[in-house]
């Protein structure tokens, strides 16, 4: 399984906003994550936390351009963006993956751009945008509905020319999901594993962990989930790579892997 380390080149990300806004600080942080065990880095220039305001594509690219160009020569890089122009620039600069939290809904040119680029594409489930998604978190059967909506987006992506084998599914924890709903999706993760696609889970430090994290130790909760699902998914997306790598190593030792 891959550990995707998060590099937020933003002033307002929910967990570490502003810490790595300077490109040199972001590059150094990326290298620290690689040393800790990250096999992929996910680099983003816009916060998509609930309530966050959008950032213009030009400003987004200005934040991450040097970071993508430098780190993509050291490890596979994913660019966290819903802007097709940023996706194109990042892949041309060396990125191997486009991670789109809107599942193609944020930019009508995204699917055709990814199809042309031929890169891997993380297709995430969500509803609405950062300002509206919490109000759209209403489901009768959350696992079934998230699965069907995600596969409908998958079908649209394939119809637009993206190769099925290039698509990585992400059930979108925290995106139009609140509290217990995220736990339900995690418990039903098997529903997303039999579609012939790799699966990415992004649970790191998210709000739903607060009810199990003593003294708000969300990195411990994150690492524990990572260890539980390590044998099932293609990758986990985390802030604290060392904690997750340690938890996975312990699980493997106990299983005799």
237 annotated active-site = yes
Q: What totals of helices (H) and strands (E) does the chain contain, helices first?
A: 8, 8
CB-facing half-sphere around the CA of 185: CA atoms within 13 A: 30
The residue assigned the tokens 């936390």 is 49
HEC profile for 206-234?
Answer: CHHHHHCCHHHCHHHHHHHHHHHHCCCCC
Which residues are within 8 A (CB) of 215 and not within 5 positions of it... i.e. 6 or more apart?
A: none
Catalytic pick from 147, 154, 206, 218? 206
SS3 35: helix
Interatomic CA distance for residues 4 and 197, integer angstroms = 17
- What residues contact 152, with CB distance under 8 A and at least 6 apart? none
Rounded CA-CA distance 43/199 in Å is 19
Q: Residue 141 and residue 159: Cα distance in Å, rounded?
A: 27
The token pair at 157 is 């992506």
- Cα–Cα distance, 151 to 228 (Å, whole number): 25
Q: Any residues with CB less than 8 A from the CB of 13 and at least 6 apart, and which?
A: 44, 47, 49
Catalytic residue among 89, 147, 198, 237: 237
Reply yes or no on whether 163 is catalytic: no
Which sequence positions are flagged as catalytic? 206, 237
């Amino acid at each position: 399984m891959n550990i995707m380390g998060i590099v937020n080149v933003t002033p307002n990300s929910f967990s570490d906003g502003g810490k790595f806004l300077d490109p040199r600080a972001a590059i150094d942080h990326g290298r620290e994550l690689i040393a800790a065990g990250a096999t992929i880095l996910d680099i983003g220039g816009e916060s998509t936390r609930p309530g966050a305001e959008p950032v213009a594509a030009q400003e987004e690219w200005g934040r991450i351009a040097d970071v993508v160009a430098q780190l993509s020569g050291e490890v596979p890089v994913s660019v966290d963006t819903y802007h097709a122009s940023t996706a194109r620039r990042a892949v041309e600069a060396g990125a191997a993956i486009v991670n789109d939290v809107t599942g193609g809904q944020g930019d009508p040119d995204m699917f055709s751009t990814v199809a042309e680029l031929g890169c891997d594409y993380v297709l995430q489930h969500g509803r609405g945008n950062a300002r509206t998604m919490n109000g759209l978190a209403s489901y009768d059967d959350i696992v079934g509905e998230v699965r069907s909506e995600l596969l409908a987006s998958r079908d649209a992506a394939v119809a637009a020319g993206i190769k099925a084998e290039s698509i990585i599914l992400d059930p979108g924890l925290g995106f139009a999901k609140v509290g217990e709903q995220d736990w339900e999706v995690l418990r039903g993760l098997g529903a997303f594993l039999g579609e012939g696609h790799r699966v990415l889970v992004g649970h790191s430090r998210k709000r739903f962990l607060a009810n199990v994290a003593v003294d708000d130790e969300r990195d411990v909760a994150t690492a524990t989930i990572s260890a539980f699902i390590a044998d099932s998914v293609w990758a986990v997306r985390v802030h604290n790579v060392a904690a997750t790598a340690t938890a996975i190593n312990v699980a493997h030792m106990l299983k005799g892997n």
